[in-house]
Amino acid sequence: MIEQEIEQFEKYYDMIRTYLLTYSMQLLAALLILIVGLWLAKKLASATHAVMIRHNIDITLTNFVANVVKVLVVTMFIIIALGKVGISVTPFVAAIGAASLGAGLAVQGMLSNYGAGLALIATRPFVVGDTIAVKGVSGQVKSIELGHTILINEQKVEITVPNKHIIGEVLHNSFNYSHIEGQVGIAYDAPVNQAISVIQKILVDDDNVADSPAPQVGIEAFSDSAITISYRYWTPTTSLIENKLNVNQAIYQGFKDANIEIPFPQRVVTIKSNTPKSE
């Protein structure tokens, strides 16, 4: 038993030695080819990255293209090195092609997200910091990845949207601002023009209210118990709730200081008496 194992070991040893003696120069050449390939792939990837950055290409697309260049160059040199030592790469290419087809069918949803991500990066319908609304969700764009886009809303909740649900859909982009609309009622005998002026001054003086588009203030409706004044303005999405609360508080205080009445709902009731008059 031991003699058989020794004979088998010697057989493999002779085979390896013969291979090394026969292909020693080819192995050395293949190793040099791999080293040169790795060095060249790194240089080409860095050069691609630098050129795209110089032309202000999106950083996500820049990193993706640089990595693709690196992988392609390394793969090419590996094929050359394998051929140098006498290993045919044709069966490997066929196997990789079959595996790629099966993997593509299995992860077609993921690949569609990646394709949509590349389209978003290339066309740039929005950038990080913009406020968008799509498929019933809205928020400020926190990051754009190849497979998905991350939004963050005014409640600081992160929303992950697959990129395939963004491409081809109706997209609302208000950039880094969000629209706020509010209403307040004043009494019918209150000075309407003064009330409008108070709100306009509050909105103009607030640093968190955008100058363009300019705030809008005016009479919205004539309700049963009050004249409804509507006001609209734009504010940064990152502080949407905070700014809305501050503006509402300032309007209430402004009306109080100006003695402008904010009425509560009222109903006038008339009682008719059917008691006959005394003779």
In the chain, which stretches have pLDDT less than 50?
Answer: 105-106, 279
SS3 content of the chain, % helix, strand, coil (to 5): 55, 20, 30
Provide the residue range defining the domain that includes 15.
1-87
C-alpha span between 226 and 237 (Å, rounded): 31
CA distance 5 to 277: 134
112 assigned to some structural domain: no
pLDDT attached to residue 121: 79
CATH of the domain at 249: 3.30.70.100
Nearest one of 152, 153, 174, 180 to 246, comparing CA atoms:
180
What confidence score (pLDDT) does residue 91 get? 66
- What pLDDT, on a 0 to 100 scale, did the predictor assign at position 56? 78
CATH number, domain containing residue 51:
1.10.287.1260
pLDDT score at 106: 47
Does residue 108 form part of some domain? no
Q: 216 CB contacts (<8 Å, ≥6 apart)?
A: 230, 231, 232, 233
d(CA 184, CA 262): 8
From 30, 63, 87, the end of a domain falls on 87
**Angle subtended at Cα 107 by Cα 105 and Cα 111, rounded to the nearest 5 degrees:** 105
* Boundary-marking domain end, from 70, 87, 104: 87
| Statement to judge: residues 171 and 190 lie in one domain | no
State the DSSP string of 74-91. Answer: HHHHHHHHHHHTT---HH
Q: Residue 150 and residue 139: Cα distance in Å, rounded?
A: 9
Domain C-terminal end among 87, 110, 144: 87
User: What's the CATH code of the domain at 146?
Assistant: 2.30.30
CA separation for the pair 193, 261 (Å, rounded): 13
CA 176, CA 128: separation in Å to the nearest integer?
9
For residue 102, what pLDDT is reported? 58
| Residue 274 identity (one-letter amino acid) | N
The alpha carbon of 107 is separated from its chain's Cα centroid by a whole number of angstroms, namely 22
